[in-house]
């Protein structure tokens, strides 16, 4: 009898041990609706606000899942995805050839336009790509050169590692080393918008979703910054919003979240958030 009791105790212990092991996978646990789990996402400050809104709605449908969004810039998010610090990285620029060669896979979740903005009192409403380049490289230094007021131009740019800055420079046609030395460098779209909105001299660039009445968005080559003009490729300053990951690091939770973002419900949130849905 005693021997049977001891065997029963051993069997119960083994069962408890196996159960504990099965529930100890953290981020790599498979089920979307299982025990409490965390999905780590980091990267672009342009993609971040959209990802947060998507995460809030997704968590409502998947009790026990916590999605952590860390807005640290595109390059940092890509690095985190490569190093396994984050399961998914967010990028507001295209991946480089080296990044693609490292095994990163990308998913376009939305499109975005980059808007050149000035103070609301600025008379300039339309500008060419060439004039934008001349402003940001210091060839044009006063608004009167463009038909505006006699005011020195104050350039406001994003920080190194920003996907918005990389995309903007690539499209406009200048390098980081050519940026005018007097430029104010601001971290994040919100900081640029605030700086430009409070400085009559200033010009900067922000993501579509940050446009409001506190700033003056400029047309580019006569084309207004609208979602329709981005999708029909009339507006030049546009770029994709990406989720990036390594295939071996993507869990069921991560894949399910990406699937949700690409679904009609997810794309509806993209549209409501001011970004541009895929269709």
pLDDT tens digits along 59-104: 999 999 999 999 999 999 999 999 999 999 999 888 999 999 999 9
Candidates 116, 131, 126; CA nearest to 219 is: 126
Which pLDDT belongs to residue 99?
A: 94
Spans of the chain, pLDDT less than 70: 1-35
222-245 pLDDT per residue, tens: 999 988 899 888 999 988 899 999
Backbone φ and ψ for 243, nearest 5 degrees, come out as: -105, 135
Dihedral angle of Cα 270, 272, 277, 279, to the nearest 10 degrees:
130
Which pLDDT belongs to residue 118?
A: 98
Q: What is the sign, positive or negative, of the torsion defined by CA atoms of 131, 134, 137, 142?
A: negative
Backbone φ and ψ for 104, nearest 5 degrees, come out as: -65, 135
Which pLDDT belongs to residue 231?
A: 86
Candidates 190, 121, 123, 185; CA nearest to 157 is: 185
How far from chain centre, in Å, is Cα 106? 13
What is the pTM for the complete model shown?
A: 0.70
User: 10 Å Cβ neighbour count for 141?
Assistant: 15
Which pLDDT belongs to residue 35?
A: 57
Q: How far is CA 200 from CA 150, 151, 204, 265, in A?
A: 11, 8, 12, 41
């Amino acid at each position: 009898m005693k021997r049977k009791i001891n065997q029963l105790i051993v069997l119960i212990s083994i069962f408890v041990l196996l159960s504990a092991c099965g529930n100890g996978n953290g981020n790599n646990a498979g089920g979307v609706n299982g025990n409490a789990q965390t999905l780590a996402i980091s990267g672009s400050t342009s993609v971040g606000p959209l990802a947060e809104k998507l995460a809030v709605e997704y968590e409502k449908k998947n009790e026990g899942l916590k999605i952590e969004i860390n807005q640290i810039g595109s390059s940092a998010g890509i690095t985190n995805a490569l190093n396994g610090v984050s399961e998914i990285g967010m990028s507001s620029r295209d991946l480089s050839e080296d990044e693609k060669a490292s095994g990163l896979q990308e998913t376009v979740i939305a499109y975005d336009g980059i808007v050149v903005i000035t103070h609301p009192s600025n008379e300039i409403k339309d500008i060419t790509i060439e004039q934008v380049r001349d402003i940001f490289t210091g060839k044009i230094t006063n608004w009167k050169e463009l038909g505006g007021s006699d005011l020195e131009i104050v350039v406001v740019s994003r920080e190194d590692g920003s996907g918005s800055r990389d995309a903007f420079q690539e499209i406009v046609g200048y390098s980081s080393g050519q940026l005018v030395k007097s430029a104010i460098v601001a971290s994040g779209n919100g900081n640029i918008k605030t700086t430009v909105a409070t400085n009559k001299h200033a010009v900067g660039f922000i993501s579509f979703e940050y446009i409001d009445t506190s700033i003056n968005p400029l047309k580019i080559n006569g084309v207004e910054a609208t979602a329709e003009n981005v999708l029909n490729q009339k507006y030049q300053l546009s770029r994709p919003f990406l989720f990036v990951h390594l295939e071996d690091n993507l869990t069921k939770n991560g894949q399910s979240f990406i699937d949700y973002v690409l679904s009609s419900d997810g794309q509806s949130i993209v549209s409501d958030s001011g970004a541009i849905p895929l269709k």
